Copies of this chain bind each other. A is one copy, B any other.
Amino acid sequence: MTDKRRPGRRPGSADTRGEILAAAKKVFAEKGFDKATVRGIAREAKVDPALVHHYFDTKEGIFAAAMRLPITPEAVIPLLLEGPREDLGERLVRMILQVTATPETREPMVAMIRSAVTNEQAVAMFREFISNALLHQVADRLEVPHLRIEAAFAQMFGVIMGRYVLKLEPLASATHDELVEVLAPTIQRYFSG
């Protein structure tokens, strides 16, 4: 019933994926992350919802692809939960440093931060995604209070901003090992305190 494809558009054609992503960007910007639905994105893209699921699995997956984020919450959360709890601080710090180490994966995240800081509509979308798809999921799985997970987020958000946007020295040139030594105990304390 939501299948209102224009004549001549084949499901799964080369540009279908791109059209779904363009539709998703529009829907997320208008409705925010929470109120956007796969069905609504499919309607905007004039494709069947099953096709959206086929390409992107979940709403989180569409969001990550539309924002060109290098990681999805579904991929990150298991990595955090695997392995000993007492190394969680170091695992998280290393993962964030690795994901932001190359310009290709970092730039979309920095672009999202820039738009969140300057655009009221983007900030609501970013807030809902960060809170509901990421931070509170991790917090609830690990039984950590939400305020503590947000303190950990704030620490790493500030580090990425200081390292790649403000380019403070020595923060910008520090090695991953140097940063892990300074930051991992902070993150570990938030997750175990």
Contacts and interface: CB of A to CB of B under 8 A. Distances in A.
A168 B128 CA distance: 8
Interface stretch (A1-9, A17-25, A67-75, A145-153): A145-153
A12 interface: no
B170 A146 contact: yes
Interface residues of A, number: 41
Given A127-B166, A151-B171, A186-B186, 7 more contacts: A127-B167, A150-B171, A153-B158, A153-B168, A154-B155, A154-B171, A158-B158
Interface of A is mostly: helix
A182 B130 contact: no
A154 B146 contact: no
Contacts of A171: 147, 150-151, 154
